[in-house]
Every structure is written in structure tokens, then in C-alpha cells.
A and B are shown apart, each in its own frame.
Chain A
Amino acid sequence: MKAIYKREVAGYFRSMTGYVFLFFIFLIVGIYFYAYNLLNGYPSMNVTFNSITFVFLLAVPVLTMRVLSEERRHKTDQLLLTAPVSVAKIVLGKFLALLTVYMIPIGVICLYPLIMRVFGKVSFAQNYTAILGFFLLGAANIAVGLFISSLTENTIIAAVLTFVVMFLSYIMSGLESFLPSSMSDGILYHVMEACNVDGHFQSFVDGTFEVTAVVYFLSVMVVFVFLTMQSIKKRRWS
């Protein structure tokens, strides 16, 4: 697992994808942070994050598109799957590598509240809760991207599909509001709410730390990492 993890992290910086991912995140987060928190002096990053959840629509497909699909295209999965390493470890190694790359911008963002502190009073609790929420939101999206990358050997299809799925989840709050009020507690609503990854970020924006939201994001990760393992195992039988 360590070998796969190390190779994968290094791989992002051998190819362009790691840099493109970081570029997107830093660009968008930087612009909004500058505008909201520095220019307008808003002391909390909650609103900033709430405006920029769309950054994942672009950044996550770039990051995850090749993680498994390229292994299949170049047949390097034959090396991994015939080595004495379980599928679970292969997938976990990959997922942890993705999270590690993602931790780079998160680590930098963790410094932002300290920058704001220079200009005035800042609630660290509120800010770091928001950062935690932002991290979980991204990590859940990355798990979805990982799964989609395991479905195809074409990186472009993986990227487009990941974008589409994340876009649907992004507009889910809007779609939910179209539901007639009679259905506001029906099965359909609950299904839609479960797919509304973005919406669960709201509680972090409100500045409260909600255990249910944390559990939700963690479950999304567990489910999609598990599905990825199953998808790889199933392919042997096709």
C-alpha cells in the first residue's frame, strides 16, 4: 500500500494534473479570500467557502480522472493486481494519495485565519470549523471521482462523468426547492437530500459544528471507496 501511495503522490507532480488542481484551488480560494475577507474585512471564511464550492466541479475531475482509468489503459493494473497486495489496499493507497495532494491547499488555507488575525478580531473556532467542512466536502467529492475513474479506461470520459455527477449534486439544492410542498418529506426528497453533497456543507457555513454532517461526509467516502473496490473486483469476472 505504501508503494502505491508514494508512487501516486509523486505521479501527480510528474504530470500536469497535480499542478492544475493546485492552481485551480489556489486561484479561486485566493481571489475570494482577498475580496471577501481582506478587502471587505469580513472576519470569517464561512461565506467565502460557501461561494466557492463550485471550485470542486473543475478541480476534482482534473485530480481524479486518471487515478484508476489510466492504470487500466496502460495495463499497469496487471502489475498491481497480480502483486501480493489486496484490492482494498490498492484502492486505499490511491485514495490516501489523492487526499494528500488535496491536503496541500487545505494546509495553506489553514494559515488564512492567522492572516486575518493581523487585521482584527477573528473567531478561530468558526473559521477552522468552516475549513474542516470544506475539507470534508472536497474529500467526499474526491471519493466519488475515484469511483468514477474505476469505471472506464478513458480519462476524458472519467473527467466528464465526474463533472456531470458533481454538477447534479451541486444544483441539487435548487432542484429540491422545485418539489411541491406535499412531497417535502417523501422518499424522493430524502433520496435527493442524500445526493446533495453540497447541501450538507451548509451547516458548517452557519458556523455550527454538526456531527450529522461530518458523519454524512465520512459515509459518502466509505461508500464510494467501497464501491471502487467492488468495481475493480467485479471486472475480473467480466
Chain B
Amino acid sequence: MVEVRDIVKRYGDHVAVDHLSFRVEKGQIYGFLGPNGAGKSTTMNIITGYLASNEGTVLINGHDILEEPEEAKKCVGYLPEQPPLYMDMTVLECLNFAAELKGVQRSERDEMIQDIMEMLSLEDVKDRLVKNLSKGYRQRVGLGQALVGNPEILILDEPTVGLDPKQIIEIRSLIKDLSKEHTVILSSHILSEVSALCDQILIISKGKLVACDTPQNLSSQMQGNSTLQLSVLDPEHKIEGVFAQKFEGAIHVQGAWEQDVWSGTLQVDGMDDIRAELFYLLAEEDCPILELSQSRMSLEDIFLELTEAEQEVHNESDL
């Protein structure tokens, strides 16, 4: 379990992380989502004890990362943005070094490393120097180093960057598997990845947490207001009166007539789908529907809206 309380990180005048608080429960996958420079990597560096925050505390399984660093760090495996690899060592040497560094018993070491290499299909390159590996393979070795020692919590900063599509799918399913026994925190720019993989999404913008929920809740919360595009043949120009009578203000109607055709939008509160109802109502009124479509906010829109709303506030305060 990871608990982040009110952390602040300043670089000079620039606030990279701004009063961020959240809790990560055991056995789930948490996705950090945010545009470039949002402070994802900085937050992860603070959680793992590489950086110290100016304010606030980080507890890992109850151990404060600054006060009991060794106990806290034992529980965490970290894959930073740039995999920390020694260029002049082979893949096997890198994994061995990580194992020894993390205090894995000599007797368990070989088997553990063998398992990890199998899991990440690194066996073919195990005797190659890291500096001769491609970016994707380096990423995998970095992930291997994080997995060494079987830590309870895995913190992965953009784990799928630089991998080919086949590998991305493999790594994602690997992360899914790992989440059965580990708590995983990963960061990404790719919304589809986070929403497919994670149990909880944390959206960060400009160092602030702007949303924290399950992917389902996030979409339904925002999709609560679905919008209908409608065009109706209505020679008598009575349709707005009909809507007002039928829905009594529960929907927000906006539109105009162009000769006999009314086109406009209906904004509906709540999750009800009124399309069928609308069809029968308008059939009864003798107003044939020419066009009807529903637009829902995708997670992508939510992400953009949340992070951009934040930006506007900032721009205003800059003026």
C-alpha cells in the first residue's frame, strides 16, 4: 500500500508537483495519466525516494520513505523513464547486479533471473552488451531489473514506450498478470492503454490531481450529459412546444427551423437513453425524423477537457 500525503516539489519558482495526495490499495493497477511535464515522473521519483519532496510525506507499507528508506525501498521495484542500465555490462550481468543490490539470496538468484528472462523473452540476448541493444530491449531489461527481488509494489514510468506493437500487447498482459500479486503504478500518455489496463486512473495536470476514479466511473460521470443531434421535418413549427410539454425542462433544447426542417441538439441529464421514446413521440406528432445521432464524451475528451480546463485557469492567473 502506498500513501502519498500532500506532496509538493518545487524547482526554483516552478512548482512541478502541487499538493498531490492519493492512496494506492493492494493488488490493483493504478494509471498515472497526464500531458508532458505534468509531473508524473517527478511524483514517481518522490515515491521511490530518488527525490525528496519539499512538503508532504510518502508512506510505503507504513514506512516513511525518508525516515525508514531501506524498509520502504525493499517493497518497491522501479522502472524509471530512462532505464538505469550500465552500458558496459551484459543483460545477465545487469540482472545479477540488480539482484545482488536488492539483497536477493545467492541460492535464489539464478532461478529468479531465469524466470524473469523467460517472462520478458530476454534469453536470446542475455550475453549481449546493453549498449548494443535496441531501445525496446533496453526497456525490457529495465523492467527485468524492477521485477528482480519480487517486490510487492511495482512503479513503472511509461513501461511500453519504445516497444513494438506485439511487445506492447505482451507487456500489457504481463502487467495484468503481475497485478494479481503486486500493486502496480504505471504512467502513460496513452489513454487507451491506461483505460484498458488500470483499475484506477489518476489524471494529473500541472502537478495537480484533477481526477481519480475507475475508468467506468470517469466515463459515466462525464457521459452523464449525453447530447442528441436531431433533424425533424416539422412544417407546423410545433416541435419545441411538444418537447417542452413532454419533458418539462428535463432536457435542454436548442435549435432552429430552416423552412420545414428543425435541426438542433437535445442535452439530456442522466444516463437515460430517450432515443426510442423520441421516435414514438415524433411519430405520433407526425414529424418524421430525418436524422438522429447520439454523441458521448470519450475518455479522450474527458482527459482533454480536464487537463485543458486546468490550463485555462492557469492562463487566466498568468494575465
User: CB within 8 Å of B: which residues of A?
Assistant: 2-4, 6-7, 11, 14-15, 74-86, 236-237
Chain B residue numbers with a CB within 8 Å of A2 are 100
B50, B87, B102: which contacts A84 (Cβ < 8 A)? B102
A58 to B67: give the CA distance in the assembly, Å: 41
CB distance from B83 to the nearest CB of A (A): 8
Contact B70 A82 (CB under 8 A): no
Interface status of B76 (Cβ within 8 A of chain A): yes
* Sample of 29 A–B contacts (CB below 8 Å): A3-B97, A4-B101, A7-B97, A11-B88, A14-B88, A74-B85, A74-B87, A75-B82, A76-B84, A76-B85, A78-B45, A78-B50, A78-B78, A78-B84, A79-B101, A80-B101, A82-B49, A82-B78, A82-B80, A83-B98, A83-B101, A84-B71, A84-B103, A85-B70, A85-B101, A86-B70, A236-B52, A237-B52, A237-B54
Chain B residue numbers with a CB within 8 Å of A3 are 97, 100-101
Chain A residue numbers with a CB within 8 Å of B98 are 79, 83
Residue of B nearest to A7 (CB): B97
* A82-B48, A236-B52 given; A77·B88 CB < 8 A: no
Contact B145 A79 (CB under 8 A): yes
User: CB within 8 Å of A: which residues of B?
Assistant: 45, 48-52, 54, 69-71, 73-74, 76, 78, 80, 82, 84-89, 97-98, 100-103, 145
Contact A86 B69 (CB under 8 A): yes
Residue of A nearest to B74 (CB): A84
Apart from A78-B45, A79-B84, A84-B73, list 18 A-B contacts with CB within 8 A.
A3-B101, A6-B100, A11-B88, A74-B84, A74-B85, A74-B87, A82-B50, A82-B76, A83-B102, A84-B71, A84-B102, A84-B103, A85-B70, A85-B101, A86-B70, A236-B50, A236-B51, A236-B52
Chain B residue numbers with a CB within 8 Å of A80 are 101
CB distance from A84 to the nearest CB of B (A): 4
Chain A residue numbers with a CB within 8 Å of B73 are 82-84
A237 to B52: give the CA distance in the assembly, Å: 5
A84 to B151: give the CA distance in the assembly, Å: 11
Contact A7 B50 (CB under 8 A): no
A86 to B84: give the CA distance in the assembly, Å: 18
Residue of B nearest to A236 (CB): B52
CB distance from B182 to the nearest CB of A (A): 16
CB distance from B72 to the nearest CB of A (A): 8
Chain A residue numbers with a CB within 8 Å of B89 are 7, 14
CB distance from A236 to the nearest CB of B (A): 4
A80 to B97: give the CA distance in the assembly, Å: 10
A237 to B12: give the CA distance in the assembly, Å: 11
* A75-B84, A76-B86, A79-B145 given; A84·B70 CB < 8 A: yes
Residue of A nearest to B100 (CB): A3
Residue of A nearest to B73 (CB): A84
Chain A residue numbers with a CB within 8 Å of B82 are 75
Residue of A nearest to B47 (CB): A82
Chain B residue numbers with a CB within 8 Å of A77 are 84
A180 to B153: give the CA distance in the assembly, Å: 65
CB distance from B173 to the nearest CB of A (A): 26
CB distance from B100 to the nearest CB of A (A): 4
Chain B residue numbers with a CB within 8 Å of A84 are 69-71, 73-74, 102-103
A220 to B80: give the CA distance in the assembly, Å: 36
Chain B residue numbers with a CB within 8 Å of A82 are 48-50, 73, 76, 78, 80
Residue of B nearest to A6 (CB): B100
Chain A residue numbers with a CB within 8 Å of B84 are 74-79
Chain B residue numbers with a CB within 8 Å of A83 are 73, 98, 101-102
Residue of A nearest to B51 (CB): A236
Chain A residue numbers with a CB within 8 Å of B69 are 84, 86
The 5 closest A-B pairs by CB, nearest first: A3-B100, A79-B84, A84-B73, A236-B52, A82-B48
CB distance from A232 to the nearest CB of B (A): 11
A61 to B180: give the CA distance in the assembly, Å: 50
CB distance from A150 to the nearest CB of B (A): 16
Chain B residue numbers with a CB within 8 Å of A236 are 50-52
A76 to B86: give the CA distance in the assembly, Å: 7
A237 to B80: give the CA distance in the assembly, Å: 18
CB distance from A32 to the nearest CB of B (A): 33
Residue of A nearest to B75 (CB): A84
A78 to B102: give the CA distance in the assembly, Å: 13
Most buried by B among A4, A80, A83: A83
